[in-house]
Amino acid sequence: MQSIITPTNWTYCRFESGQYRAFVSFGADPETLEKGQYLYYATVTEGEDKEIHQETHATLSAACEALNARYADWSFLDQSAPKSGCGTCVAH
């Protein structure tokens, strides 16, 4: 079964391919914030902070679907999964 980003796991899962990362984030603009609404961003970065591509979606489901349709062939990373490293720290 292929792992996908969903409205349940979007806060801790992403797709990766080399240095590229695809994930969902959220924010607002003055108009949507005034209405009490958020915007959801399907974002691709190179490394930690160099944004390569971003699409804005009105719903979380739409942002998840956009990422899954375009990046599901990349490696799926669940950041809540137990990590291994040189000690008991999960920072590795």
Stretch 9-28: mean pLDDT: 96
Residue extents of the structural domains in the chain: 13-78
Whether the CB-CB separation of 60 and 9 falls below 8 Å is answered with no
The letter for the amino acid at 19 is Q
pLDDT at 32: 87
Please enumerate in sequence order all residues whose Cβ is within 8 A of that of 2, keeping only pairs 6 or more positions apart, or say none.
Answer: 72, 76
User: What is the full DSSP assignment across 24-64?
Assistant: EEEE--HHHHHTT--EEEEEEEETTTEEEEEEEESSHHHHH
pLDDT tens digits for 24-57? Answer: 999 998 998 899 999 999 999 999 889 999 999 9
pLDDT of residue 1: 47
90 half-sphere exposure, CB direction, 13 A CA radius:
5
